[in-house]
Amino acid sequence: MPPQISRVDPDAFGTFLHATPYALLRLERTGPIEFHRGVAEFFDGAWPRLFSFGALERARLREPSWLDQVFRTSLGPMRGGIHDGYWLFERGLVVGHHRGVVSTGVSYDGVDHERQRQRVVRYGFAGVGARADVVEAARQICVYFDDIVTRKLGAKDEGEGSYTRETRESAHRAPPPRAPAPPPAEDDPYEILGVDPSISDDDLKAAYKQQMKLNHPDKVAHMSPALQKFAQEQTVAIQKAYERILRSRG
């Protein structure tokens, strides 16, 4: 049975993000939105029970600023804007983005590319393959996110350039609970506020107010409890970072 791709709306977004350790979302301006053939099938087969899949139309959003509130990394809001394409979330935080634009050219001269193609065919196309351009489109998207998940879960290969399903299934039947990690940039208050150390005092104050506004309880009241809790934690981190900078500037 092919994996289910949910039509996600803002009210149920938190539930979607936290239903599984990883959530792969395709964001586009208008619908209907479809995953590239083989992409959802690949992650459902290669990483059993770790992924949920969803599609979100920008046209369904009542407030465009909502994207800035929920598309966050461990360092806070996205800095480069929220573009269309595929977004990978790990326990509610953005860990990868692929615009979904693929090259139609097909070449498997490199050994790594051929191994990647075989892996995508195995899990994404039930081992029977498809047209070369369809497989190549899936490969370009799958390999990008597959590498991220592999690094994060510390999967090991067995000398063949790919990761065996048997090893992964035994390791992921019951993923150990992972406590939310503190922001990696906690020691750098400028990183937490998303500003450069050379910023003026006035611009620093404006950036601080903007960050606090994005995480204000009124802004996240309609979201899931998990996202509300994350916003509260961000508020504390932002406040501490701002105070540290003020103290350092005397």
* The pLDDT of residue 183 is above 70: no
Which of the pair, 156 or 145, is modelled with greater confidence?
A: 145
Distances (CA, A) of 209 to 92, 206, 235, 239, 247: 24, 5, 11, 10, 17
Same domain, yes or no: 34 and 58: yes
Same domain, yes or no: 72 and 121: yes
How far is the C-alpha of 233 from the C-alpha of 1, rounded, in Å?
40
Domain that holds residue 105: 1-180
Same domain, yes or no: 236 and 158: no
Identity of the amino acid at 174:
A
Same domain, yes or no: 85 and 147: yes
Q: Which pLDDT value is given to residue 1? A: 74
| Structure tokens that stand for 153 in this block | 């879960």
Q: Which pLDDT value is given to residue 161? A: 35
Omega of the bond leading into 217 within 30 degrees of 0 (cis) = no
CATH number of the domain residue 231 falls in = 1.10.287
Counting the structural domains of the chain, the total is 2
Distances (CA, A) of 179 to 15, 144, 148: 18, 26, 19
pLDDT, tens digit, 9 for 90 and up, residues 38-54: 999 999 999 999 999 99
What's the pTM value of the predicted model, to 2 decimals? 0.62
* The pLDDT of residue 88 is above 90: yes
Q: Which pLDDT value is given to residue 167? A: 36
Would you say how long the chain is, in residues? 250
Same domain, yes or no: 139 and 68: yes
